[in-house]
């Protein structure tokens, strides 16, 4: 290895985010809601102050879970709304899966746009490794 870069992925493309969310929901056997200003509910069924554009309801996450939301920011990027409690539960695993599926898609696209061709793509546990010959 001679040069390296580490990037914290930011969800900037809503179309690709939606594809990643659909992929995760299919893999997990769960559903999501899409709309404007959707309310989020906590583990006791109480409405929380946050609003979201995409929501995975808590019944799909766990008995004591809160809804997992995604909100569109003014600049068009997407931010996750996850409670502190759910960062230690299946909610975080679902969020990680969405972020991973999103990252794989945007990396493939960015590589293609840079004129590269992905040679191999392999799953290594929950991680994904892509190799590009140059």
Partner 1 sequence: MAEIVIEITEDGQIKGDIEGIHGPDCEGLLDFLKDLGEVTDEGRTRDYYRQSRRQQRGRERAKR
Residues that bind partner 1 (CB under 8 A): 1-10, 12, 96, 98-104, 106-107, 110-111, 113-114, 116, 119, 124-134
78-81 and 68-72 beta bridge pairing: antiparallel
Nearer to partner 1, 44 or 113 (CB): 113
Nearer to partner 1, 39 or 92 (CB): 92
Rounded CA separation 39/45 (Å): 11
Nearest approach in angstroms of CB 128 to partner 1 is: 4
Nearest approach in angstroms of CB 3 to partner 1 is: 4
Nearest approach in angstroms of CB 36 to partner 1 is: 26
Provide the sign of the torsion angle of the four alpha carbons 11, 13, 19, 22, taken in this order: positive
Rounded CA separation 93/119 (Å): 28
Nearest approach in angstroms of CB 74 to partner 1 is: 18
Nearer to partner 1, 12 or 39 (CB): 12
Are residues 94 and 61 in contact, defined by beta-carbon separation less than 8 angstroms? yes
Nearer to partner 1, 53 or 92 (CB): 92
Closest CA to 53 of 74, 66, 39, 42: 39
């Amino acid at each position: 290895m001679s040069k390296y870069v580490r990037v914290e992925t930011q969800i900037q493309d809503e179309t690709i985010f939606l594809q990643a969310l659909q992929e995760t929901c299919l893999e997990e056997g769960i559903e999501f809601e899409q709309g404007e200003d959707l309310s989020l509910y906590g583990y006791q069924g109480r409405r929380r102050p946050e609003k979201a554009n995409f929501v995975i309801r808590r019944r799909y996450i766990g008995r004591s879970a809160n809804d997992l939301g995604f909100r569109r920011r003014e600049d068009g990027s997407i931010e996750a709304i996850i409670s502190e409690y759910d960062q230690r539960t299946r909610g975080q695993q679902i969020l990680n899966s969405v972020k991973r599926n999103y990252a794989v898609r945007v990396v493939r696209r960015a590589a293609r746009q840079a004129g590269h061709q992905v040679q191999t793509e392999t799953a290594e546990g929950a991680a994904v490794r892509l190799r590009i010959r140059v």
